[in-house]
Amino acid sequence: MKIIVGLGNPGIQYENTRHSLGFELADILANKLDIGFNENKSLKSMIAKTKIANEDIILVKPQTFMNSSGEALRKIADYYKVPAGDIIVACDDTYLETGVVRIRFGGQAGGHNGLKSIISNLGSEFWRMRLGIGDNGVVPLENYVLSKIPQRDGEIIRTMIDKAAEEMIRFISEKKFENKTIK
């Protein structure tokens, strides 16, 4: 069993923001896999279930807000008895150029509060799919990640999310987990 987690913030005010790209990836994956999310209040998440190449998949959008994502993920990992090494977390990354996807196992949070929360709850031995959003260096980081995605970046980000979703499906169906960067 694998758990795929898209990080974001719940609520319509956070839709189409850079910080909720993990949610967008989860939604695109659900669409491609023809499944829907259901709310699970006890697990503090929206959850969808499916199989990819005979592998049980739990697709998750934590509803705890970004900075407490680890709290929901700990509950889910415990409930489904899934070790951290079988968890893949998708999140935004300001250190990557807009449109670049980086997949890595283990490591640090890199300043990302959602990853910090997960690391404090599960440790650092899980897969990360980082979705590049860049950093304009002018707007304070908190405002930048929570701002709506401008039209000029929209197409690049949509293409990136689609590539990331396809890579996630390939990643699981071929059971070929590897560190890589996609441009």
Active site residue 19: yes
From the list 19, 74, 75, 112, the catalytic residue is 19
The residue written with tokens 């401008």 in the block is 150
Name all domains of the chain by residue range, CATH numbers in brackets. 2-182 (3.40.50.1470)
pLDDT bracket for residue 11 (50, 70, 90)? very high
Residue (of 101, 99, 123, 98) closest to 109 by Cα position:
123
The residue written with tokens 């670049």 in the block is 100
Query: Could you tell me which residues come within 8 angstroms of residue 119 by beta carbon, excluding any fewer than 6 positions away?
Result: 70, 108, 109
CA 134/CA 174 separation, integer angstroms: 30
Q: Encode pLDDT of 14-65 as tens digits.
A: 999 999 999 999 999 999 999 999 999 999 999 999 999 999 999 999 999 9
Q: Encode pLDDT of 128-168 as tens digits.
A: 999 999 987 788 888 999 999 988 899 999 999 999 999 99
CA 52/CA 24 separation, integer angstroms: 19
Q: Does pTM surpass 0.75? A: yes
